[in-house]
């Protein structure tokens, strides 16, 4: 798939994920790009964050990324025309103290790529709210919960283990009020997980 200035974040993420897979590299989409997918663009990200799983050399990464036109510039990869740059934050794949995160498959056309589930995407955004008082991340977590089916009980159990039962209550109340997202087209959070 040839990337252009009009390529969506989903297409860029899928193209990169496919190139990494072909290069023998397993990576999981996280962060703001994952939240952008799970909110159907109600949250916008300008970068694609991928956590690498397993040992990956710089040469392997450079080779895989160049296969889809990305070149390394410092700590990120840029494309001559695509609007989104790619970064690889340090792993391992974990959310707060939970390192047993299981990604799900997302698709763009015939390409598949790994992403955090909607439930784990909520937890990822809530971790920033819990630990750094980032209210913008709370807003994004609410948007995800309003657009996707998330397991609120699992999020509550994790929040308690992290020591933030009070902040989870704030999140749950915001979801119930439907704040953080346009209500039109939104769905309330329900137990269970779902992919993209």
Return the CATH number at 111. 3.30.460.40
Residue 129 lies in a domain: yes
Residues 138 and 156 placed together within one structural domain of the fold: yes
Residue 43 lies in a domain: yes
Residue 154 lies in a domain: yes
* Full-model pTM: 0.88
Which range of residues forms the domain containing residue 91?
9-115
pLDDT value of residue 1: 73
Residues 88 and 19 placed together within one structural domain of the fold: yes
**CA pair distance 126, 185, nearest whole angstrom:** 23
Residues 75 and 110 placed together within one structural domain of the fold: yes
Residue 105: both structure tokens together: 């498959």
Residues 24 and 101 placed together within one structural domain of the fold: yes
Strand order in the sheet with 111-115: 71-73, 76-78, 85-87, 47-53, 26-30, 111-115, 104-108
Q: Residues with Cβ < 8 Å from 175, sequence gap 6 or more? A: 142, 145, 146, 152, 188, 189
| pLDDT per residue of the chain (196 residues) written in tens, 0 to 9 | 789 999 999 999 999 999 999 999 999 999 999 999 999 999 999 999 999 999 999 999 999 999 999 999 999 999 999 999 999 999 999 999 999 999 999 999 999 999 999 999 999 999 999 999 999 999 999 999 999 999 999 999 999 999 999 999 999 999 999 965 333 333 333 333 333 4
**CA pair distance 87, 180, nearest whole angstrom:** 27
Residues 131 and 93 placed together within one structural domain of the fold: no
Residues 75 and 165 placed together within one structural domain of the fold: no
Residue 28 lies in a domain: yes
pLDDT value of residue 182: 37
**CA pair distance 102, 120, nearest whole angstrom:** 9
């Amino acid at each position: 798939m040839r990337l252009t200035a009009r390529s969506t974040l989903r297409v860029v993420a899928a193209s990169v994920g496919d190139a990494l897979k072909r290069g023998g590299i397993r990576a999981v989409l996280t962060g703001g790009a994952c939240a952008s997918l799970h909110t159907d663009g109600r949250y916008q990200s300008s970068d694609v964050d991928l956590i690498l799983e397993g040992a990956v050399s710089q040469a392997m990464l450079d080779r895989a990324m160049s296969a889809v036109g990305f070149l390394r510039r410092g700590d990120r990869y840029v494309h001559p025309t695509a609007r989104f740059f790619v970064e690889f934050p340090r792993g391992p794949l974990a959310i707060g103290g939970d390192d047993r995160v299981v990604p799900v498959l997302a698709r763009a056309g015939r390409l598949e790529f790994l992403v955090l589930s909607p439930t784990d995407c909520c937890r990822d955004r809530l971790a920033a709210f819990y630990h750094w008082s980032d209210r913008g991340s709370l807003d994004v977590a609410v948007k995800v919960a309003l657009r996707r089916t998330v397991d609120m009980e699992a999020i509550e159990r994790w929040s308690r283990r992290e020591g933030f039962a009070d902040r989870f209550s704030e999140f749950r109340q915001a979801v119930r009020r439907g704040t953080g997202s346009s209500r039109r087209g939104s769905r309330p959070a329900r137990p269970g997980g779902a992919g993209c």
